[in-house]
Chains A and B, each alone.
Chain A
Amino acid sequence: MSFFKITLIRSGIGMTERQNGVLKSLGLRKRMKTVYHPVTPQTAGMIMKVKELLTVSEVDTPLTQKEIHEKRRPPKGFIVENPLRPEATAE
């Protein structure tokens, strides 16, 4: 099963009630928010309603909100060569 990875890149401010409703039902509240929805005609119809505001790509597995957040985290800037407790860093 594949998924649409949908990101809101243009704001919905000032767009029609209907388009803002579609954004809300897709779960897109602010710009640069990414959501995953299964590939269905229903989702496709919703995407088409607000196609000027989104970027869409097809992915095999959806990421959770936590995983998206972790991906966006900048590098820590240091590497721990000899961790005091190896089992703690392995997690």
Chain B
Amino acid sequence: MFGFLRPTQPLSGGLLWKIPWRMSSMQKYRHRQRLRRVDRLVECVDNALAKQGMTAAAVERWKMEMPTEAEMEPRDKYTLFDRNAKKYRKGVHKVPKWTRVSQRVNPPGY
């Protein structure tokens, strides 16, 4: 009943991975760094094109639609809309491959 014989879910059922409900402060910190890195990249690409007097549709669209890390509210940085979640929000760390995808905007009103 105690120690390593404790019948917990991973011990009795085999593989069980759980994602915590909330992100840790360090996860949030690293997430902010990643957001900023994408911001820097877009800025760099945009500046380089502007020097040559060119624009790219993808860059223009990103700049128009997406807020930068500084402009984002904490609510949008760390959570996203989910119609099945309580209060329609879940942690952004539940998104598959969340460290390599951009998830910045949510439906208006949620």
Interface residues of B in 68-105 (CB under 8 A from A): 97, 99-102
The answer to whether B57 has its CB under 8 Å from any CB of chain A is yes
Q: Do the beta carbons of B41 and A15 come within 8 Å of each other? A: no
* Set A10, A51, A53, A57: member contacting B42, Cβ < 8 A: A51
**Closest 9 pairs between A and B when the two form their complex, measured CB to CB:** A44-B56, A48-B58, A41-B56, A58-B48, A45-B58, A39-B48, A52-B100, A44-B45, A56-B41
Q: Do the beta carbons of B44 and A56 come within 8 Å of each other? A: yes
Secondary structure at the B interface, as helix, strand, loop or mixed, is helix
Chain A residues engaging chain B, CB cutoff 8 angstroms: 2, 4, 10, 14-15, 39-41, 44-45, 47-49, 51-58
Provide the bound-state CA to CA distance between A16 and B95, in Å.
Answer: 15
Q: Do the beta carbons of A40 and B54 come within 8 Å of each other? A: yes
Q: Do the beta carbons of A52 and B102 come within 8 Å of each other? A: yes
Q: How far is the CB of B106 from chain A (nearest CB, A)?
A: 18
Q: Do the beta carbons of A53 and B100 come within 8 Å of each other? A: yes
Given contacts A49-B58, A57-B44, contact A15 B49 (CB under 8 A): no
